[in-house]
Amino acid sequence: MTATIISGKQVSEEIRSSIAGEVKDLAANGVVPGLAVVLVGEDPASQVYVRNKEKACHDLGYYSEVHRLPAETSQEDLLALVDKLNHQDSIDGILVQLPLPVHIDEKAVINAIAVGKDVDGFHPVNVGNLVIGDDSLLPCTPAGVIELIKRAGISLSGKHAVVIGRSNIVGKPVSLLLQRENATVTMCHSRTKNMAEIARQADVLVVAIGRANYIDASYVKPGAVVIDVGMNRLENGKLAGDVDFESVKEVSGPITPVPGGVGPMTITMLMQNTLIAAKRHHGLA
């Protein structure tokens, strides 16, 4: 039996349609959400991401600035740009594309972004508010994962969720958001023993480890929801997730594909965060 596909592309389009309606309402009040993206260096993947963010802003009617800086840009100059954007009234959200060149301290740059403009949700204050359950701008990919699950009509309350991967960008925050939805959460990582045995107990399995096709059907309880956050480029140029989709779909319940699953949600949730930040900035939320 082949599993139901959770289409991130479809859900993303639904959310963007809702955002577009809100942007029109804001425009009637003279407010245009503004996003500034800063790219340092020539990382090919980062350039693709930045172009996609720029296009999303254009499609939704946002004001957009993209600052492309050479790889040798000093940390001092980058921090000066962030400070300028912090005080720029037309900018509601600031995103500094990671990774940064090795001579720049990522933590220092993230900490320098104004909390209210931190649309990546990486500032320690936003992370702290996420941990204690207070209102905050949420990290985009984890927020997209929860949105996909909920919009697929799946209740998380009382379910056992297993998260494989403990990164600050996905694993840790998604585990907190799952708990916020009243799931019972188990975290697995590279040092976990009997990982397959633990994973097979999951009603909802979220995988974010950065290893192509690593999780096969032996890790999955029949009928379990499987969310694949992985995005890996194979030698043949094709994209693959962390889940062996062909194997797992034969035993799982609803499952996200790669591409077309979690991927489209990340930029959409960034647009959502920018909209929220704009409304707060202008006293409309």
Contact (CB, 8 A) for 103 and 131? no
Pairing of strands 204-207, 184-188: unpaired
Q: Is 77 exposed, middle or buried (0-12, 13-18, 19+ CB in 10 A)?
A: middle
* Of 97, 159, 221, 242, catalytic: 97
Determine whether 120 is an active site residue: yes
Determine whether 97 is an active site residue: yes
Annotated binding residue 7: no
Closest CA to 266 of 168, 151, 144: 144
Q: Structure tokens of 187?
A: 């975290």
Annotated binding residue 191: no
What is the identity of the amino acid at 2?
T
* Of 92, 117, 118, 120, catalytic: 120
Q: How far is Cα 142 from Cα 285, in angstroms, rounded to an integer?
A: 23
Q: How far is Cα 265 from Cα 87, in angstroms, rounded to an integer?
A: 29
Annotated binding residue 165: yes
Residues marked as binding for NADP(+)? 165-167
Catalytic residues: 53, 97, 120
